Amino acid sequence: GPSLNSLDTFSDEEQMLRESVQRFATDIVGPKVREMDEKEQMDPTVVKGLFEQGLMGIETSAEHGGAESSFTSAIIAIEELAKVDPSVSVMCDVHNTLVNTIFRKYATKEQQDKWLPQLSENKLGSFCLSESASGSDAFALQTRAKKDGDHWIINGSKMWITNSYEAEIFLIFANIDPSKGYKGITCFVATKDMGIQIAKKEQKLGIRASSTCTLNFDDLKVPAANVIGGEGLGYKLAIEILNEGRIGIAAQMLGLAQGAFNAAVPYTYSRSQFGQPVGTFQGMAFQIAQAAIDIETARLLTYNAARRKEEGKSFTKEAAMAKYWSSVIAQRVSGQAIEWTGGVGFTRETGIEKFWRDSKIGAIYEGTSNIQLQTIAKFIQKEYS
Ligand code: CAA
Ligand code: FAD
């Protein structure tokens, strides 16, 4: 079979996880992919399966019901899921790299004891930062929280929130003191039953099985004990988590590119025109070779950033590079995959066109490509001036 994974830096445990996620993705997710895309709905058996497989608390301690594995393991799971369905991949990604990580890194022991077991067991999480008027300019958010005795009252609205249709646990960023600018932003945990309203579920170009909703908070009453990471520290917590999260999106786009490649390339050797397999014409063979290089570069950038983060080294610039580049090559390779398979690839039957539709989001969420470039440019300026 294809051996495009050139990296041999994974531990036995990581390799075993990769194989078990591959099996889950192929057997459980695979048969549902097309239907979920067409219905724009995640299948509940897939969500349940992610929890049962132990994929929703990969880095969470065993004490809190998790698998206690490495950050790289979380990245491997995202990559493998994306080879089959980038929507399922991002569901797992947001839950692990954004939501669980905030609790693991910033919550008190008491908060961890309360929330992490639920997030490992069966409750899906959402990360609510963006608003209609603040996407890239995330710290200009308008959602407000006011103290009222032993509660906070949250008012405002969030837009573009992944997982929010199925989620029960929400991390909400709200400003408690706008006079302090972004230093008023605070992170709160709230549950759906406290009164979070889903105002709109988006219909999208790609990752259509992944829910993306507008949420309204109308005097949402949250206990004082639900502040995570300290008052006014929400902005720092959000961006530090996003720095890591971007490695997850890099892995999603890497898996997507590999999935499209795997779906298209064998066809080019079985389809003949002019008496020859189309994949053996030099014009095709060289494109395929270049796509293999594209995928390889994304893989090296992604896992290098993951290991640096795991080893406690600086990784923000490397993560931005990985996310930027994986998004570029995911679009390119999945687009080429359609061309390599001709009319067949343009139909919905092979699933190749879906990879291309799904690839577009990589350049938008968790910081657009321009935001990644801005981050990289700031580092270069610091290093060279
Ligand atoms: N790492 C650490 N700290 C950072 C940082 C980074 N990459 N970028 C900025 N900061 C800190 C600065 O140090 C500064 O803090 P101090 O005052 O304590 O020093 C503070 O943030 C403000 O810095 P700037 O004035 O430079 O930042 P800004 O206001 O111009 O923009 C930003 C900052 C909002 C973080 C912006 O750069 C950014 O990343 N925007 C994109 C937002 C984003 O990624 N949203 C994703 C939403 S979640 C999502 O999308 C999930 C999903 O789809 C699956
Ligand atoms: P804008 O910020 O308005 O950007 C528009 C264009 O302007 C972009 O090309 C951008 O690169 C460019 N631009 C903006 N500022 C600059 C600048 N300073 N320099 C150069 N160019 C610039 N958010 C969450 O909080 N949680 C989620 O779970 C979540 N999931 C999402 C899922 C989907 C499917 C989508 C589409 C979005 C999701 N988001 C989520 C929001 C996402 O993070 C934002 O869409 C993203 O940060 C971009 O913001 P924006 O859409 O407002 O675009």
Amino acid (one-letter) located at 297:
T
Identify the pLDDT of residue 2: 54
pLDDT tens profile 10-51: 999 999 999 999 999 999 999 999 999 999 999 999 999 999
As given in the structure block, the two tokens for residue 114 are 């309360």
The SS3 assignment for 219 reads strand
Q: Which positions are annotated as active-site residues?
A: 366
Q: Which ligand is nearest to the CA of 242?
A: 1
As given in the structure block, the two tokens for residue 105 are 């890194």
* Ligand 2 contact via 90 beta carbon (within 6 Å): no
pTM: 0.98
In the numeric block, the tokens 């949402």 are attached to 220
Eight-state DSSP code of residue 11: -
- Residues 322/75, Cβ–Cβ less than 8 Å: no
> What count of other Cβ atoms lies within 10 Å of the Cβ of residue 366?
29
Write out the H or E segment, with its range, that includes residue 290: helix 282-310
The SS3 assignment for 351 reads coil
* Ligand 2 contact via 76 beta carbon (within 6 Å): no
Query: How far is CA 282 from each of CA 83, 265, 278, 337, rounded to the nearest angstrom?
Result: 27, 14, 9, 16
Identify the pLDDT of residue 8: 77
State the distance from the centre of ligand 1 to the C-alpha of 126, rounded, in angstroms.
Answer: 19
State the distance from the centre of ligand 2 to the C-alpha of 158, rounded, in angstroms.
Answer: 13
Quick one: which atom of ligand 1 is closest to the CA of 98?
A: 51
In the numeric block, the tokens 């997507």 are attached to 256
Q: Which ligand is nearest to the CA of 234?
A: 1
Q: Is ipTM over 0.90?
A: yes
- Residues 6/60, Cβ–Cβ less than 8 Å: no
pLDDT tens profile 68-83: 999 999 999 999 999 9
Identify the pLDDT of residue 54: 97
Name the average pLDDT for the chain: 97
Of all protein residues, whose CA lies closest to atom 51 belonging to ligand 1? 366
Quick one: which atom of ligand 2 is closest to the CA of 134?
A: 52
In the chain (385 residues long), the average pLDDT of successive 10-residue segments reads 67 94 98 98 98 98 97 98 98 98 98 98 98 98 98 98 98 98 98 97 98 98 98 98 98 98 98 98 98 97 97 98 98 98 96 98 98 98 97
Residue 268: exposure state from Cβ atoms within 10 A (0-12, 13-18, ≥19): buried
Cβ burial 2-39 (10 Å sphere, 16+ → b, else e): eeeeeeeebeeebeebbeebeebbeebbeebbbebbee
- Residues 24/88, Cβ–Cβ less than 8 Å: no
- Residues 168/192, Cβ–Cβ less than 8 Å: yes
- Return the bridge partners of 217, or none: 156
Eight-state DSSP code of residue 31: G
Q: For residues 56 and 66, give the distance between their C-alpha atoms in angstroms, rounded to a whole number.
A: 8
In the numeric block, the tokens 């321009």 are attached to 370
